[in-house]
A = this chain, B = another copy of it.
């Protein structure tokens, strides 16, 4: 073969030339940042108002296209970074958040998904713990970021309905259908009416399905402070499992967490913090068993 004479450098140059003949996509790393609703409360405030919900970070678009629509943060990756690094960088640049635990959600690559150009998006979900410091910058005068609360999500029988609130005001509702794949988890099938920019509605729905597919009993810890009561744990667990535990079975569930052979919780013996103020017996504080 004639090629044998070439140096590696030459080969690389030739190869790159051949690549440049083809159209290349632009590739982004997008992040769905998720945190518990009481992240910005201190411990005392939280004790007063421990209702749990998930919050998702959105960017309000100030530019064409989809001006005024909500979108998820993200941006083009650079030649010196992996998509994970790009995702972490974008999250930091756009929302001053430090990526804690990036979990892949999927690659969105339908040629028509962005009217502007051929853009492929790698999507990750970044799970933010309750005890992290949050400081989403108000944002430039162009786009701004905001945490929207996903209240009482409904996912059942192939249909989902996700309502996102800014405080008490409904920002948008995401409804559609999903399919339980035999193996490999559930996937979004169809979004009824996308209120978000680009295909971000599908992305958000898929992200939530992905979150629900994680190991719930462990995931709960990410949304709780270090020390918590059993009621706190159950509150989060119920949210993440569509209230899978009926009222009557909560006692068994408590035992399951603490009394079985390999309990995942243990009592904080040193302190028996008095959690009064709400007219009932004081609750024990638990922490994750290592």
Q: How large is the interface on A (under 10, 10 to 19, 20 to 34, 35 or more residues)?
A: 35 or more
List CB contacts (< 8 Å) of A79-137 with chain B: 79-84, 101, 103-104, 106-107, 109-111, 115-118, 120, 122, 127
Across-interface contacts of A22 in B (CB, < 8 A):
26, 76
Query: How many copies of this chain?
Result: 2
Across-interface contacts of A181 in B (CB, < 8 A):
101
* Contact call B111/A82, Cβ cutoff below 8 A: yes
* Contact call A107/B127, Cβ cutoff below 8 A: no
What is the minimal beta-carbon distance from A289 to any residue of chain B, in angstroms? 13
| CB-CB under 8 A for A23 and B116, given A183-B103, A183-B218, A214-B184 | no
* Contact call A117/B16, Cβ cutoff below 8 A: yes
Which of B27, B64, B115, B214 makes the CB contact (< 8 A) with A120? B27
* Contact call A116/B15, Cβ cutoff below 8 A: yes
* Contact call A82/B104, Cβ cutoff below 8 A: no
What is the minimal beta-carbon distance from A185 to any residue of chain B, in angstroms? 9
Across-interface contacts of A24 in B (CB, < 8 A):
24-27
| CB-CB under 8 A for A12 and B218, given A26-B24, A77-B109, A79-B25 | no
Across-interface contacts of A106 in B (CB, < 8 A):
104
Closest chain B residue, CB of each to CB of A222: B183
List CB contacts (< 8 Å) of A221-263 with chain B: 222
**Interface of A toward B, CB cutoff 8 Å:** 3, 8, 11-12, 15-16, 19, 22-27, 64-65, 76-77, 79-84, 101, 103-104, 106-107, 109-111, 115-118, 120, 122, 127, 181-184, 214-215, 218-219, 222
Q: Which 3 A-B pairs have the closest CB atoms?
A: A24-B24, A103-B184, A82-B109
Instruction: Offer 8 A-B interface pairs, CB within 8 angstroms, sorted by A.
Output: A8-B65, A8-B115, A11-B116, A15-B117, A22-B26, A27-B27, A107-B122, A182-B218
* Extra contacts besides A8-B64, A19-B26 (11): CB < 8 Å: A11-B64, A11-B116, A24-B27, A25-B25, A25-B77, A27-B120, A80-B111, A82-B110, A83-B120, A107-B122, A182-B215
